[in-house]
Structure 1
Amino acid sequence: MRELFLKIQPYTGKIFAVGLITFLSFLAYNLYNAPVEGIEEKFIYLLKQYGYIILFVWSMLEGEMGLIMAGLLSHDGSMNVLLAIFVAGLGGFAGDQVYFYIGRFNKTSVLKRLRGQRRKFAFAHLLLKKHGWPIIFTQRYMYGMRTIIPISIGLTRYDARKFAFINLISAWCWAAITIVPVWYFGDQIMVVLHWAKEHWYMAIPLAIILGGGIIYYFNKATKKIEKRVRDED
């Protein structure tokens, strides 16, 4: 079993890509054949039928939108909030483990294909060197670094078991921090969503402004951290 595991690890990225394509094909097929009318109703039906599976894969891709949907479905009773947190955490954990092993067993290929990301890799190494394991715990909240940091840690000799343990705890915290507030304030969020549906012409620019502001804030915060770490190094 161990020999098989070692043989499979170098192909982690390819296995992940094939699995993702297969899953998306499965979703597309079931979405098309859902026994309800309208794309919105079809999507809701799909979430209720395969909610935990979709949540797991969505969380592998580090998608907060999937966690928000899980919170809303938990609020109306379609999902169990504790199980949703557990599944989402496992998905986030699995995704970062994939990125970690891509770096661990594909060093030459990673450095060659991600040549344009060298600056971010260097920054990730500086963060790990200066702050140690807390970086593994907080990288999910660092805009533009969420994929880079697990890969860059994989490129080092960092202990794989230690990374896995911290990664798992971090993933469950990430899931809980996002899902629980949405589950608790579900009624208020549904009112906002209903308003947005009725006034989409106003909701779209507001969403763009709000989303852009959030991205700008985290991007600026990440750059400040990068500058501080380099100045102190």
Structure 2
Amino acid sequence: MIKSLQNHSGKILFAVVLTFLSFLAYNLYIAPVQGFENKFIYLLKTYGYVILFAWSTLEGELGLIMAGLLIHDGHMNLYIAIFIAGLGGFVGDQVYFYTGRFNKAYVHRKFKGQRRKFALAHLLLKKYGWPIIFVQRYMYGMRTIIPISIGLTRYSAKMFAFINLISAWCWAALTIVPVWYFGEEILKVLHWAKEHWYLALPFAIAFGGSIIYYFNKATQKVDRKTLEKEINSEN
């Protein structure tokens, strides 16, 4: 039974995502309020923990930010939200890990165009060891690749699960707590951005672009000969 679940971990994640999106769409449609924004807020207040768990499985900080704001307004409990968000993040990475561990042919076929990232993930694991598991949640562009890549190696599944669980709860706390604490200030900023979106949009684009640029440069700094050797060793 367990082995069967592990072998179909990728399909399980797809089913979870599809179910989550269907759940959102249906409940948005039947929400007893007018307007998409009001419907979405109603949905968060009604099914907050369920949505938080599913969103955290996909490791989206936006879900955690929303949870922090709901906690600030008194619609969710801080400790329960951190526990559930961390559990969701843990489940998501475990699925990615077992996708690599038991579906190697599928991974090599599906991610053929991302061999450089997989090679980089292997190099980071060799160089830094277990801390790379702890910080991979903050490495945009590598967050899915690293758990799958570690699954492709002989790294201990028990050790990965333990570090992954601690990392997920830290990730949840480090995101939710500041949003909860500075909730009033964040709400004021969001209100200003909503009314002055034409001024806020360039800042959002610049911020997002700088993050992408930073991680692209960090990837390029890796020694090319070593990276090519790692890529060839996977073939």
Q: Give the TM bin, normalised by the shorter chain.
A: over 0.9
Pair 172,228 (structure 1): closer, same or farther in 2 beyond 3 Å: farther
Structure 1 residue 201 corresponds to structure 2 residue 198: yes
Q: Give the count of matched residue pairs.
A: 228
Alignment of 1:44-123 (within 5 A): 44-123=41-120
- Tell me whether 1:124 sits opposite 2:104 in the alignment: no
- Listed one character per residue, the Cα deviations across residues 184-218 of structure 1 (whole Å, up to 9, x for unaligned) are 00010011011011112212222212222233234
> Is this contact kept in 2: 1:133–1:166, CA < 8 A?
yes
Q: Distance in 2 between matches of 1:79 and 1:61?
A: 20
> SS of 1:36's equivalent?
coil
SS of 1:164's partner is helix
Measure the CA separation in 2 of the matches of 1:124 and 1:167.
Answer: 16
How do 1:1-233 residues align onto structure 2 when only pairs under 5 Å count? 4-224=1-221, 226-227=222-223, 230=226
Which runs of 5 or more structure 1 residues have no equivalent in the other structure? none
Q: TM-score, normalised by structure 2?
A: 0.92
Contact kept in structure 2, 1:96 and 1:147, CA below 8 Å: yes
Deviations 1:61-84 (A, max 9, x none): 110111111111111111111111
Deviation at 1:85, TM superposition (A): 0.8
For residues 79 and 18 of structure 1, the distance between their equivalents in structure 2, rounded to whole angstroms, comes to 27
Cα deviation, residue 60, structure 1 = 1.0
List structure 1 runs of 4+ shifted beyond 3 angstroms. Answer: 221-224, 226-231
1:80 maps to a residue whose letter is N
Instruction: Find the aligned partners of 1:87 and 1:166 in 2 and give their Cα distance.
Output: 17
Tell me by how many angstroms 1:134 deviates.
0.6
For 1:120, give the aligned amino acid: K
Deviation of 1:228 after TM superposition, in Å, equals 9.8
Say which is worse superposed, 28-37 or 8-17, in terms of deviation. 8-17
How far apart are residue 22 of structure 1 and its match? 1.6
- Per-residue deviation at 1:143? 1.9
* Distance of aligned partners of 1:130 and 1:20 in 2 relative to their CA distance in 1, 3 Å threshold: same
> 1:75 touches 1:186 (CA, 8 Å); kept in 2?
yes
Structure 1 pair 229–182 and aligned structure 2 pair: CA distance change class (3 A): farther
In structure 1, distance between residues paired with 2:211 and 2:78: 26
Unaligned ranges ≥5, structure 2: 231-235
TM-score by length of 1: 0.93
Q: Sort the Cα spacing of 1:229 and 1:59 in 2 relative to 1 into closer, same or farther, 3 A.
A: farther
